[in-house]
Structures are given as C-alpha cells and as structure tokens.
Amino acid sequence: MIGRLGFWKRKKHYLNKMTLNELIRAFFQYYAIQAYIVVGLISTYVAVTHVTAILPTLAVIALSIMVYPLAWYLLHRFVLHGRYLFRSKLTAAVWKRIHYDHHQDPHDLEVLFGALYTTLPTIAMVTIPIGYAFDGVGGAAAGLATGLFTTIFYEFFHCTQHLSYKPKIQWVKDIKKLHMSHHFHNENGNYGITNYICDRVFGTYYDNNAKMGKSPTVFNLGYSEEEAALYPWVAELSGGLGPDTPRERRQQV
C-alpha cells in the first residue's frame, strides 16, 4: 500500500463493523480516491483552458456518464467474472486482487476498491477517445475528468452497499439489495453498481432470489479445487482454498 495515512494506518477495515462516518473518513483518505480527485481536478483545469465550445463539452460529459454503466457491465461480466485471467500465470495475481478477493471477503474495504493501476488506464481508455473526437485536448480532458468523478461516485455507493446500515433513501435500498444478491446469492447477474439498465437489457437482472438459483460459485467465481489443480497461482497467493475467507486464513497463519 502506498503511503498509509490517518485512518489507513490500521491494517484492515471491514465494512460490516464500520459506521457511515468511519467509511467517509476512510474513503477520502484512501490513496486511489485521492488520486482520482487530483487527476480529476487537473483534467478539469485542462478542459476549462482548452475547450473551444460549450455544447461539445456538454456532449462529452453526457456521453462519458452514459457510457460508464455499459463499460462497467462489460468489464464486470466478461472480464472480472471470466475464467481466463486466473488461468494465466501472467494475470492470475491481477485477477485475484481486482475481483477474487472481493468476492471471497466482500466486507474487506481495501480489496473493494479497484486497483489504481487497472482502473486509471481503463477510465482513460474509455473516456479520452470520446472527448478527443468532439473537441481535441479540451474534450479529452473533460471526458477524463467526468470518468474520474463518476468513478468516485460509483466507488462510494459500492462501499455503502457493503456497509452494515439500513439506507433511508429508497434508491440506495434498492441498489444495495441487488448488489448483495450478486455477492451472496448468485454472481451471474446484477453486474451493475448504481445502475442496472444494462442488466435489464442483457437479461442478467434479478430482484427475487427465489427465482434465481443459489450459485455454488458465488464466493469463488468458479475457481474451484479442480481449476486450482490446473492453475495453482491464485491458490498459492491466497494461502490455499476452502470455505473460509482469505482474512480468516491470514489470521490462522
């Protein structure tokens, strides 16, 4: 971890044992969120000083926001829940960090956040081309800034979905319920975070657990003992396989 400061001097943080105020403190002290804010502000400055017209900039902002749920859906469903990353020694550690650990221990705040070395390039690749096509450097900066601030929004509500509290706002209640089903009932659906339009469009939305069978791979994402025998790298990095979480295995060492 780069520069553990303040709240993050503590070794671990579990959302099922945190208050909303503790989450807010931890959230804005986390290095990846701070990086998004800094790069977002720099991008905003570049956009303001380089845009040539208001309408193209507004179009870039709108498109960047609109494309975000689709980009997340495709990455979440086909990359993070795909089984090819753990089958390569070159990508096994990345897959373990960016998604396997999160499903193994959904309340572990540190592995809930996306890994900065994967998220920042992805946000840039999705938003910069959109912006540049509309208004060159200024548009590219506007697109990147929009993508970064949208990521902060997504990350915060993703955290609240795992937090042990009852939301008062109905929309937050709804997205929390859908996301908890993804983590604890069946991972083959409800891939959205704050927006489930793509799940509805592509047939992966479900709001009734009784109509969707309990998945045997909801915690291991298909990385079974049989897979581990052929592709051992994630198991080696995790201290083995089992019904317990990586957190519990670390405590046993």
Residue 2 maps to a domain: no
Residue 4 maps to a domain: no
Report the alpha-carbon distance of residue 130 to residue 120 in Å, rounded: 16
Residue 110 has pLDDT above 90, yes or no: no
CA angle (72, 77, 83) in 5-degree steps: 130
Task: Give the pLDDT of residue 166.
Answer: 86
Q: Which residue, among 222, 52, 64, has the nearest Cα to 153 in the 3D structure?
A: 64
Residue 41 maps to a domain: yes
Residue 127 maps to a domain: yes
Candidate ranges 113-117, 174-178, 208-212, 245-249; pick with highest mean pLDDT? 174-178
Per-residue pLDDT tens for 192-205?
Answer: 999 999 999 999 99
Residue 1 maps to a domain: no
Per-residue pLDDT tens for 189-245?
Answer: 999 999 999 999 999 999 999 989 999 999 999 999 999 999 999 999 988 886 555
Task: Give the pLDDT of residue 3.
Answer: 45
Cβ(71)–Cβ(63) under 8 Å? Answer: no
Task: Give the pLDDT of residue 243.
Answer: 57
Residue 252 has pLDDT above 60, yes or no: no
> What are phi and psi for residue 74, nearest 5 degrees?
-65, -45
Mean pLDDT of 61-78: 96
Q: Which residue, among 17, 24, 68, has the nearest Cα to 159 in the 3D structure?
A: 24
Residue 8 maps to a domain: no
Mean pLDDT of 12-20: 86
What is the extent of the structural domain holding 192?
A: 13-252
Count: domains in the chain:
1
Residue 95 in tokens:
């897959």
Residue 28, H or E segment: helix 20-29
Identify the band that residue 162 occupies on the pLDDT scale cut at 50, 70 and 90: very high
Residue 67 maps to a domain: yes
Residue 160 has pLDDT above 80, yes or no: yes
Q: Which residue, among 152, 148, 96, has the nearest Cα to 122 in the 3D structure?
A: 148
Task: Give the pLDDT of residue 253.
Answer: 36
Which residues, in sequence order, are CB contacts of 27 under 8 Å at separation 6+?
A: 33, 155, 156, 159
pTM for this one? Answer: 0.89
Report the alpha-carbon distance of residue 29 to residue 67 in Å, rounded: 28
Candidate from 172-176, 178-182, 199-203, 249-253 with smallest mean pLDDT: 249-253
Orientation angle between helical segments 170-184 and 116-162, nearest 10 degrees: 110
